[in-house]
Amino acid sequence: MSVQQLPASTVHVMLGDCSAADAKKVLGVLCGRFTADREKADETHESASGRPTVWTVLFDTSGDPGDTAGPVAELSGQPTVEAQGGPLATRRLREALGAAFTVHELGTEAGDQEVQMKLRLDSGAAHETRPV
């Protein structure tokens, strides 16, 4: 079995604990800033089985990030974001989330070439990172 090596600028994102509408808002922010392995027109939807849904996307954080287009609509819940990638790539992803939402750090593990972090997002006037 071979393991595909992703570029250092790539971040694997798993988004869960939220509605399809909240997933669309969060992914819209990230797709507006970074290149993704999904089309911007892709619709988020719940799984038909009633089981929890997790959305996964690969983002390329290299290059000049786009600009977020205005204010983001309020989230109805508090989605969790799990991200895994290189230190610079995960930092850029976290900064993009922090510009649109209040970010609560649930945990971070760092190796010499990879960072894995778990965040909780919510709407709020002050978009800052807060440890939980």
| Predicted local confidence at residue 7, as pLDDT | 82
Does residue 84 fall inside a structural domain?
A: yes
Q: What is the pLDDT of residue 113?
A: 87
Does 54 have pLDDT greater than 60? yes
In-domain check, residue 89:
yes
User: For the chain, what percent of residues have pLDDT higher than 90?
Assistant: 57
pLDDT (0 to 100) of residue 66:
58
Range of the domain at 24: 18-40+52-61+76-117
Residue 33 domain flag: yes
Of 8-17, 45-54, 89-98, 107-116, the range with the lowest mean pLDDT is: 45-54
| CA dihedral (81, 55, 66, 78) positive or negative | negative
Label residue 126 by pLDDT band (50, 70, 90): very low
Q: Is residue 23 part of a domain?
A: yes
Asked if residue 31 is part of any domain, the answer here is yes
- The answer to whether residue 9 is domain-embedded is no
113 part of a folded domain: yes
How many distinct structural domains can be found in the chain? 1
35-36: strand order across its sheet: 35-36, 55-60, 10-16, 80-85, 115-122, 102-110, 129-131
Q: Is residue 124 part of a domain?
A: no
Buried b / exposed e over 91-119, threshold 16 CB at 10 Å, is ebbbebbeebbbbbeeeeeeeeeebebbb
Q: What are 97's two structure tokens?
A: 């989330």
- At residue 52, the pLDDT reads 75
Query: Contact, 115 vs 84, CB < 8 A?
Result: yes
State the average pLDDT for the chain.
Answer: 83
The residue that leads in pLDDT, 20 or 52, is 20
The 10s digit of each residue's pLDDT in 56-112 is 999 999 976 655 555 577 999 999 999 999 999 999 999 999 999 999 999 999 988
Structure tokens at 56: 């996964």
